[in-house]
Structure 1
Amino acid sequence: LLVALPPRMRPGSYWTITRITLQVLLPMGVLILLSTVLYHHIMNPLRELDAATQAFSNGNYLVRVKEQLGSRDDELAHLSQTFDSMADHIGDLIMRQRQLITDLSHELRTPLTRLDIATETLLTTDKADAETLQRNLSRVHRESAHIRKLVDDTLTLSWLENEQPDLRNESVDIAELIGIIVEDARFEYPDRTLVVNMPGSAIIENTNHRALGQAIENILRNALRYTPAGLDVIVDLIASESGYEIHVSDKGPGVPDQHLRAIFRPFYRVEKSRPTDGSSFGLGLALAQRQLKAICASIKADNLAQGGLKVSIQLPHR
């Protein structure tokens, strides 16, 4: 059975246009719209990353990307987190280096000024007596050694902070090491009494003789420097379940509680509570903390109830 539609009901040329629209133009429009949305979804965070990279390279070390991307959780968000972590690390490293250079420049001024005065006196005095000549030469030698130690300590500190080395490659008898350091300290500070409580032997694996020795020496020198003549400094070596503990307790003025963590910062001094004799740069405890970190040990400081400061080292069995 065939039914013929009247001419007015038969599809005209508009059907061809409708078919082209439905089959070609509409899918193409949807595709263009989706492509535009996808383009902006991908390119916007990439532009943020590019802008942040440019800003960071121009010295803006506080620029971050993740907060600009909102709550999205995809590969680009993870990339932005990686960038922020890198920026945190590098920015902190650069700022610490700048601060270190600033502090070093400040610390060098005083010995350089004294060195200039001594050398100028030597150059301008025609007929100086032997005593004056010897005094100025001794001053030049002392200030030169002062500057050399300051620079050496700063370079060591910078290396430990930048490289963050793992120095756990030796076994050390801590008791023997402390004994050597204490004997040297007794020779240097004959007017202080050093009391040592430790076992005959205390061997620990996976540590470093030089790093541990320098850390203990810096802590002990710091305690002796601030302990008045005639008083004692106590060194305790105690075995614990996790390893060994070393406690160095002095009879100095102590440190205000709010400064206890800050004393491990480079060139930090608590001027009012712990006066210095001019031989301290404020680097000893900072060096000790970083040397101990390189052997996976830790350090902390506490005020003693009876007065004075106790610095404690935790050495793990590893």
Structure 2
Amino acid sequence: MSSFRYWGVEIWFVSMVTIVAIIIGLFTGYTGEILFVMTASYLAWHLRQIYRLKRWLTTSRDLYPPDSEGIWSDIFHSIYLLQKRNRKSKKRLTRILSEFRSSTAALPDGAIVLGEMTEIIWFNKSAENLIGLNVRKDIGQRITNLIRNPRFVSYLEHGDYTLPVEVTSPIDDDIKLSLRLTEYNKNQRLLMVRNITRLYQLEKIRQDFVANVSHELRTPLTVVNGYVEIFSDSKEQLPTFFHRPVDQMGQQVLRMRSLVDDLLTLSKLESGDEPVREVSVSPSMILKRIVEEAKALSEGKHKITFDSDNDAIIKGNEKELHSAFSNLIFNAVRYTPKGGQIKVTWHQLDDGFRMAVEDNGPGIDAVHLPRLTERFYRIDDGRDRSVGGTGLGLAIVKHILERHGTRLQITSEVGRGSCFYCDFKAVK
């Protein structure tokens, strides 16, 4: 029977009893008294049903509802069906949670659920092994009380979780970890912990190999360059046939020396062994000097302007910043066609400063932008080799800017030019 029919029967029953009570009252002269007794009896019956409902919901262990009549039979049955659905949902959620915990427990990567205040809510076995967490002691603890690495603390507070952060394990300095946060719901975060010790060791071997080979190449290059310079100085005494080969050898030796220098610089930056050595630096003054050098490199082929609205001081390594800025500006000179415009700016933002190099050159297809800072990545081998360069400039820029707490950002449109920029925080 539907709920509407139960309510219909209940209304019909109350109406019929009321009519009978009124008729009896008219014959006996006690209409008010009879209606009062009827109402009190009806109310007492409902109060008894409410008491039975409360007792069933709170103290009774019986899954099935008490027997009743009329509308209360429908109420009891509806609550029973609702409880039955809730039990099924609870079992399903419990099964899903159990499967989730079993699957995450089997992951080689650590998984840690963090609450609104970065307190630990749950973690799997891998997190326990990689970071040294303890179920009894660490649930409810803030993650920064257990992972105190300054890089991770800064990463956690910064709020930009696009890229992971690499730190050493708090229980073993020989274990290298990659930590990445993912936000979900409103205030919860999932921290994934990956053991990258083997990758780190392989990268270290590669860096050492590049550094060692670069060092070893310096000596023979110096010798070859010495002989090339001798030939260049006495070129008039050589047959005309040798003039062009000597010039080409000189160019290629200079290119090789530049490549070796860039490889050594990049290896030093990637190793992270050398601190930034922050001092007070004026980016406006650095950019002004580089722009003058860029004008000399351009030889009047481009319109190069510099615009600065402040002489702010930031903390950083002046030599490294000069290298990063010059790479960006000289690249604009190399790749912008004759007659093009290059605009270098140093402007103040609400919470810091922005350095930008903008040109109206050929532009870069969006498909290439994510890979521009990779070592030796070239958009067009023919064009890139014709303008020179080692293919390491933007990789060096990327690492220098990361060491200074910022990152290189690129916007470009084919046929309309490119803009390379980075933002620095104000000195507090």
Q: CA deviation at 1:296?
A: 1.7
Residues 84, 180 of structure 1: alpha-carbon distance in 2 compared, 3 angstrom cutoff: closer
Matching residue within 169, 174, 184 for 2:293? 184
Bigger CA drift: 219-228 or 161-170? 161-170
Indicate whether 1:169 and 2:222 are aligned.
no
- State the Cα deviation string for residues 163-189 of structure 1 (Å, max 9, x = none): 264425211222211111011111111
Between Structure 1 and Structure 2, which shows a larger proportion of strand residues?
A: 2
Indicate whether 1:269 and 2:378 are aligned.
yes
How far apart in 2 are the matches of 1:68 and 1:294? 27
Give unmatched runs, 5+ long, in structure 2. Answer: 1-105, 112-123, 134-168, 179-194, 232-236
Matching residue within 265, 269, 279 for 2:388? 279
Q: Which amino acid aligns with 2:108?
A: E
Indicate whether 1:247 and 2:366 are aligned.
no
Residues 100, 233 of structure 1: alpha-carbon distance in 2 compared, 3 angstrom cutoff: farther
For 2:307, the equivalent position in structure 1 comes to 197
Q: Which amino acid aligns with 1:160?
A: L
Q: Secondary structure at the match of 2:254?
A: helix
For 1:3, the equivalent position in structure 2 comes to none
How far apart in 2 are the matches of 1:220 and 1:142? 22
- Partners of 2:110 and 2:130 within 8 A in 1: yes
How far apart in 2 are the matches of 1:303 and 1:100? 35
1:141-156 matches, within 5 Å, as 141-156=250-265
How far apart in 2 are the matches of 1:233 and 1:251? 7
How far apart in 1 are the matches of 2:304 and 2:247? 30
Q: Which amino acid aligns with 1:67?
A: P
Indicate whether 1:85 and 2:193 are aligned.
no
- Partners of 2:324 and 2:400 within 8 A in 1: yes
- Partners of 2:107 and 2:126 within 8 A in 1: no
How far apart in 2 are the matches of 1:246 and 1:74? 40
Q: Secondary structure at the match of 2:408?
A: strand
How far apart in 2 are the matches of 1:284 and 1:276? 14
For 2:407, the equivalent position in structure 1 comes to 298
How far apart in 2 are the matches of 1:67 and 1:179? 52
For 1:67, the equivalent position in structure 2 comes to 108
Residues 164, 267 of structure 1: alpha-carbon distance in 2 compared, 3 angstrom cutoff: farther
Q: Secondary structure at the match of 1:171?
A: strand
TM-score, normalised with respect to structure 2? 0.48
- State the Cα deviation string for residues 11-47 of structure 1 (Å, max 9, x = none): xxxxxxxxxxxxxxxxxxxxxxxxxxxxxxxxxxxxx
- Partners of 1:168 and 1:208 within 8 A in 2: yes
Q: CA deviation at 1:130?
A: 4.1
Indicate whether 1:231 and 2:323 are aligned.
no
- Partners of 1:251 and 1:309 within 8 A in 2: yes
- Higher RCO (C-alpha 8 Å, min separation 6): 1
- State the Cα deviation string for residues 23-72 of structure 1 (Å, max 9, x = none): xxxxxxxxxxxxxxxxxxxxxxxxxxxxxxxxxxxxxxxxxx96299943
For 2:317, the equivalent position in structure 1 comes to 208
Q: Say how many residue pairs are matched.
A: 238
Q: Which amino acid aligns with 2:255?
A: H
Q: Which amino acid aligns with 1:85?
A: L
How far apart in 2 are the matches of 1:76 and 1:198? 52
Residues 312, 89 of structure 1: alpha-carbon distance in 2 compared, 3 angstrom cutoff: farther
Q: CA deviation at 1:273?
A: 9.9
Q: CA deviation at 1:307?
A: 1.1
How far apart in 2 are the matches of 1:316 and 1:162? 24
How far apart in 2 are the matches of 1:98 and 1:239? 40
TM-score, normalised with respect to structure 1? 0.63
Q: Secondary structure at the match of 1:301?
A: strand
What is the root-mean-square deviation of aligned Cα atoms in Å? 3.7
Residues 306, 156 of structure 1: alpha-carbon distance in 2 compared, 3 angstrom cutoff: same
Residues 189, 69 of structure 1: alpha-carbon distance in 2 compared, 3 angstrom cutoff: closer
Residues 300, 79 of structure 1: alpha-carbon distance in 2 compared, 3 angstrom cutoff: same
Indicate whether 1:94 and 2:202 are aligned.
yes
Q: CA deviation at 1:294?
A: 1.7
For 2:365, the equivalent position in structure 1 comes to 256
